Amino acid sequence: MAFSFPAFSYIIALIVDAFLIFFSIFHVIAFDELKTDYKNPIDQCNSLNPLVLPEYLLHLLINVLFLLSGEWFSLLVNVPLILYHIHRYRTRPVMSGPGLYDPTSIMNADVLTVCQREGWIKLAFYLLSFFLYLYGMIVVLIAA
């Protein structure tokens, strides 16, 4: 067993993916709190907006590592979510700071449902990715 750059990429991807899973769980819980009127929209948006860019950058980091290490399948699996993140950030509401969530429109039932569904889908994607990265790491370590 040799430790190579693809193995390093998968190890970093596993660690980063654990953080992304945490961000997605926080996202789902935050929108559930909004739906049940446990917190007000301004506080929720102030807690969610600072996490948007770190999530996107962490996701981009692991894909840059996959690109540099030549792990094409793992990269291709992540490309649709990267494109969605780019689209989502480009079409965000006009705001003074970074982030996606506007406190004035977040309580709209349609927006709230879409944001909650987005959180669940990202959580499922990151969980499946975790096991894909774990499998990829084992394959790379055994093959070397």
DSSP string across 31-79 = HHHHHTTSS-HHHHHHHHHHHHHHHHHHHHHHHHHHHHHT-HHHHHHHH
Quote the pLDDT of residue 2.
67
* pLDDT tens digits, one per residue of 18-44: 999 999 999 999 999 888 877 888 888
Quote the pLDDT of residue 98.
87
Question: From the DSSP assignment, how many helices (H) and strands (E) are in the chain?
Answer: 4, 0
Predicted confidence (pLDDT) at residue 1 exceeds the cutoff of 80: no
Q: In Å, how far from its chain's centre is CA 129?
A: 11
Q: Is the pTM of this model over 0.75?
A: yes
Distance CA 38, CA 43 (A): 11
Tokens of 4: 């190579």
Calculate mean pLDDT across residues 52-73: 96
Per-residue burial over 31-47, b if 16 or more Cβ lie within 10 Å, else e, is: beebeeeeeebeebbee
- Asked if 119 and 27 touch (Cβ cutoff 8 Å), the reply is yes
Calculate mean pLDDT across residues 81-89: 95
